[in-house]
């Protein structure tokens, strides 16, 4: 009963807003009674009721499907950890890691090349053994829930491209890390964290320009009705990008997405073609306002600082725990020192375990930044209802209304309810301002 009354109040507010917009185009100003009516409607706008009205627009069967998909992801976090851990332990326990190291050392005397060859063996081995889980998680499951568009051949091609990128860039990082371990055996964990952070920052900088085009085609957005408002909003918020690019993400999935990246003349605004196909101009502006928020609020830099702290803690844990493990099982694994390539599966297992335990902290930090970007986007685009509509589209693969603890542990973005309520609260406050409250 209360929801019905709230919904009728929401409809009344929409009607009053439409009437107020129509009156602006007339020469005759609104009467005092009409102005009082508008103020009353604004004062009675209930953000909670409006949020519930939006959530009620999602059919129960569709909501159950998206809930099942998202909740299944909770288990995949565990299965991914267990599967990778099993492979790491298998490499150590069977002596395969030591044999891979021996083979790499026979190829050449140059230690950095030893490291690169071993890394290639290591990554290919892991990819092959975890391939069944990757197929289920990235192909079968995505098609089951209607989120994927690729056939198996193109999907496999993208996986092989990702493997090649991992071999090259991962190999460079591992070469640098093992060089640090050999030259700085006492403080390697500090400099290893610094090296990893610098490398990740460099990769994040070049990836959108040089790596992303390996997987998708990027073209300039030519439609001025969509492009010009986006560029205007960018200029208004100090972003000097000259063009808007479109990514052909529909060749892989149905998800809507966008991003803003770059600096010192490399600024780039990108939205995917699903956003163009599925969303109105107002919804597109809402999404781009959010993405510009990440850029203007320096979330990439803040994230590097946060992850830098995590990396220092992770490498400190790695330093202590690896020494203990090598003393206990090093003979069995045929690896005894931190600088031995055969110990890489141990390092990988310990780092993965450390990050797995910190999943709620990592998610909470990401969720905080996403919420900040939501608020920025509302102020930049001024499209609260469009924001709510986009949040409903994201419900294709995100559970709309989780429990509080569930959201804290598993969500790296605010839930749909949280985001829609923020938009409706923004709308309520601005209705009051517009009507003289």
Q: What is the pLDDT of residue 268?
A: 83
Given a contact cutoff of 8 angstroms between Cβ atoms, the answer to whether 356 and 80 are in contact is no
Q: What is the pLDDT of residue 115?
A: 95
Instruction: Please give the chain's pLDDT, 437 residues, in tens.
Output: 433 333 333 333 333 333 333 333 333 444 444 444 444 555 678 999 999 999 999 999 999 999 999 999 999 999 999 999 999 999 999 999 999 999 998 888 788 999 999 999 999 999 999 999 999 999 999 999 999 999 999 999 999 999 999 999 999 999 999 999 999 989 999 999 999 999 988 888 788 878 989 999 999 999 999 999 999 999 999 988 889 999 999 999 999 999 998 765 567 899 999 999 999 999 999 999 999 999 999 999 999 999 999 999 999 999 999 999 999 999 999 998 888 999 999 999 999 999 999 999 999 999 999 999 999 999 999 999 999 999 999 999 999 999 999 999 999 999 999 999 999 999 999 886 665 55
Given a contact cutoff of 8 angstroms between Cβ atoms, the answer to whether 93 and 333 are in contact is yes
Q: What is the pLDDT of residue 349?
A: 97
Give the strand pairing for 244-247 and 268-272: parallel
Given a contact cutoff of 8 angstroms between Cβ atoms, the answer to whether 242 and 273 are in contact is no
Given a contact cutoff of 8 angstroms between Cβ atoms, the answer to whether 158 and 142 are in contact is no
Q: What is the pLDDT of residue 261?
A: 81
How many residues make up the chain in this entry? 437
**Range 397-402, long-range pairs (CB < 8 A, 24+ positions):** 397/66, 397/69, 397/70, 397/145, 397/147, 397/255, 398/66, 398/70, 399/66, 399/67, 399/70, 399/71, 400/55, 400/58, 400/63, 400/66, 400/67, 401/55
- Cα distances from 307 to residues 301, 314, 337, in angstroms, run 10, 10, 27
Distance CA 155, CA 276 (A): 23
Helix 416-434 to helix 2-24 angle, to the nearest 10 degrees? Answer: 50
Task: List the structure tokens of 255.
Answer: 């998800």
Of the candidates 320, 366, 380, 379, the one whose C-alpha atom is nearest the C-alpha of residue 347 is 320
Given a contact cutoff of 8 angstroms between Cβ atoms, the answer to whether 124 and 118 are in contact is no
Domain ranges of the chain: 2-60+383-434
One-character DSSP codes across 285-297: HHHHHHHHHHHHT
Which three-class secondary structure state does DSSP give residue 35?
A: helix
Q: What is the pLDDT of residue 8?
A: 33
Q: Determine whether 158 is exposed, middle or buried from the number of CB atoms within 10 Å of its CB (0-12, 13-18, 19+).
A: middle
Q: What is the pLDDT of residue 436?
A: 55
CA angle 413, 389, 224 (to 5 degrees): 105
């Amino acid at each position: 009963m209360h929801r019905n009354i709230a919904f009728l109040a929401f409809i009344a507010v929409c009607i009053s807003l439409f009437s107020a917009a129509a009156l602006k185009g007339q020469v005759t100003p609104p009467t005092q009674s009409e102005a009082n009516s508008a103020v009353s409607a604004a004062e009675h706008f209930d953000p909670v009721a409006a949020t519930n009205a939006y959530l009620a627009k999602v059919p129960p069967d569709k909501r159950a499907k998206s809930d099942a998909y998202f909740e299944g992801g909770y288990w995949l976090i565990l299965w991914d950890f267990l599967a990778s851990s099993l492979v790491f332990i298998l490499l150590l326990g069977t002596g395969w890691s030591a044999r891979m190291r021996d083979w790499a050392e026979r190829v050449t005397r140059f230690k950095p090349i030893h490291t690169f060859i071993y890394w290639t063996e290591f990554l290919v081995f892991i990819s092959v053994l975890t391939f069944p889980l990757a197929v289920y998680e990235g192909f079968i499951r995505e098609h089951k829930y209607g989120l994927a568009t690729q056939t198996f051949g193109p999907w496999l091609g993208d996986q092989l491209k990702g493997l090649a990128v991992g071999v090259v860039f991962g190999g460079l990082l591992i070469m640098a890390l093992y060089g640090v371990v050999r030259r700085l055996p006492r403080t390697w964990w500090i400099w290893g964290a610094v090296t990893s952070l610098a490398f990740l920052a460099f990769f994040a900088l070049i990836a959108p320009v040089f790596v992303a085009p390996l997987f998708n085609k990027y073209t300039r957005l030519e439609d001025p009705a969509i492009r010009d408002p986006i560029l205007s909003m960018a200029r208004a918020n100090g972003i000097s990008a000259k063009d808007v690019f479109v990514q052909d993400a529909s060749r892989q999935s149905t998800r809507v997405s966008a991003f803003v990246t770059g600096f010192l003349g490399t600024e780039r605004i990108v939205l995917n073609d699903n956003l163009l196909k599925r969303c109105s101009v107002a919804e597109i502006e809402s999404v781009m306002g959010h993405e510009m928020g990440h850029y203007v609020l320096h979330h990439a830099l803040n994230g590097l600082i946060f992850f830098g702290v995590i990396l220092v803690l992770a490498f400190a844990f790695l330093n202590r725990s690896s020494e203990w493990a090598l003393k206990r099982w090093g003979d069995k694994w045929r690896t005894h020192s931190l600088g031995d390539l055969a110990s890489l599966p141990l390092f990988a297992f310990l780092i993965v375990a450390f990050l797995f335990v910190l999943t709620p902290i990592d998610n909470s930090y990401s969720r905080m930044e996403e919420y900040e970007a939501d608020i920025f986007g509302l102020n930049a685009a001024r499209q609260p209802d469009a924001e709510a509509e986009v949040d409903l589209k994201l419900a294709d693969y995100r559970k709309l209304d989780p429990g509080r603890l569930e959201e804290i542990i598993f969500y790296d973005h605010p839930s749909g309810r949280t985001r829609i309520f923020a938009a409706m609260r923004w709308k309520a406050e601005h209705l009051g301002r517009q009507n003289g409250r």
